[in-house]
Chain A
Amino acid sequence: MTTATTLSQKVWDQHLVHRAEGEPDLLYVDLHLVHEVTSAQAFDGLRLAERTVRRPDLTVATMDHNVPTAPGPEDPVSVRQMEALARNCAEFGIELYPTGHIGQGIVHVIGPQMGLTQPGLVIVCGDSHTSTHGAFGALAFGIGTSEVEHVLATQTLSQPTPGSMAVTVDGDLPPGVTAKDVILGVIARIGTGGGVGHVIEYRGSAIRSLSMEGRMTVCNMSIEAGARAGMVAPDDTTFAYVEGRSHAPKGAAWERALDHWRSLGTDPDAAFDREVRIDAWELTPYVSWGTNPAQTVSIDGAVPDPASFEDPIRRESAERALAYMALRPGTAIRDIRPDTVFIGSCTNSRIEDLRVAADVLRGRRVRDGLRAMVVPGSMLVKAQAEREGLDQVFRAAGFDWRDAGCSMCLGMNPDQLSPGERCASTSNRNFEGRQGKGGRTHLVSPAVAAATAIAGHFCTPADLGIERRAADGG
Chain B
Amino acid sequence: MQPFTTHTGTALPLDRSDVDTDQIIPAEYLKRIERTGFGPFLFAEWRKDPGFVLNRPAHAGASILVAGPNFGSGSSREHAVWALEDAGFRAVIAPSLADIFRMNCTKVGLLPVRLPPDAVRRLMDAVTGDPTTRVTVDLEAKAVSAPGFHAAFDIDDFTRWRLLEGLDDIGLSLRHEEAITAFEAARPSFLPTATRSG
Chain A residues in contact with chain B, CB under 8 A? 17-18, 22-24, 26, 28, 30-31, 37-38, 40-41, 44-45, 49, 51, 54, 56-60, 65-66, 75, 77-78, 80-81, 84, 94-95, 114-116, 118, 121, 126-128, 142-147, 149-150, 153-156, 158, 160, 192-193, 196-197, 223-224, 226, 228, 246-249, 253-254, 256-257, 260, 292, 313-314, 316-317, 320, 410-412, 429, 431-434, 437
Contact = CB atoms under 8 A, between A and B. Distances in A.
A257 B77 CA distance: 34
B118 to A, nearest CB: 12
Contact of B78 (A146, A196, A224): A146
Given A81-B31, A313-B69, A158 B172 contact: yes
Given A26-B173, A147-B107, A412-B27, A127 B76 contact: yes
Given A44-B35, A150-B169, A128 B180 contact: no
A22 B81 CA distance: 26
A80 B33 contact: yes
A412 B192 contact: no
A156 B26 CA distance: 30
B164 to A, nearest CB: 14
A192 B107 CA distance: 24
B2 interface: no
Interface residues on B, range: 35 or more
B100 A128 contact: yes
B170 A51 contact: yes
Nearest to B171: A49
A54 to B, nearest CB: 8
A75 B96 CA distance: 37
B176 A18 contact: yes
B68 A31 contact: no
Given A126-B76, A154-B173, A192 B108 contact: no
A94 B75 CA distance: 24
A226 B26 CA distance: 19
Nearest to A429: B74
Contacts of B18: 192, 292, 317
Contacts of B86: none
Given A38-B77, A431-B74, 4 more contacts: A31-B194, A192-B70, A253-B189, A433-B23
A429 B77 CA distance: 14
A158 B169 contact: yes
Interface string B60-103: 00000000111001111111010000000000000010111001
Contacts of B193: 57-58, 247
Interface of B: 16-18, 20, 22-23, 26-28, 30-35, 45, 68-70, 73-79, 81, 96, 98-100, 103-104, 107-108, 156-159, 168-170, 172-174, 176, 179-180, 183-184, 187-196, 198
B99 A432 contact: no
Contacts of B158: 22-24
Nearest to B97: A196
Contacts of A26: 173, 176, 179-180
B34 A30 contact: no
Given A154-B174, A429-B22, A38 B78 contact: yes
A472 B49 CA distance: 45
Nearest to A78: B31
Contacts of A256: 188, 190
A292 to B, nearest CB: 5
A153 B30 CA distance: 23
Given A41-B35, A150-B170, A156-B173, A260 B100 contact: no
Nearest to A229: B99
A154 B194 contact: no
Contact of A317 (B17, B26, B108): B17
B99 A146 contact: no
Most interface-central of A150, A193, A224, A257 (chain B CB within 10 A): A193
A115 B107 contact: no
Most interface-central of B75, B168, B179 (chain A CB within 10 A): B75
A18 B77 contact: no
Contact of B169 (A37, A146, A433): A146
A247 B198 contact: yes
Given A144-B100, A144-B107, A247 B194 contact: yes
6 contacts: A49-B170, A146-B108, A196-B70, A256-B190, A292-B20, A432-B22
A121 B35 CA distance: 31
Contacts of A317: 16-18
Contact of A37 (B30, B96, B190): B30
B101 to A, nearest CB: 8
B107 A146 contact: yes
A247 B157 CA distance: 41
B112 to A, nearest CB: 13
Contacts of A154: 170, 173-174, 180
B89 to A, nearest CB: 17
Closest 9 CB pairs between A and B? Answer: A146-B107, A144-B104, A40-B33, A144-B78, A60-B194, A253-B190, A412-B27, A145-B78, A128-B76
B90 to A, nearest CB: 17
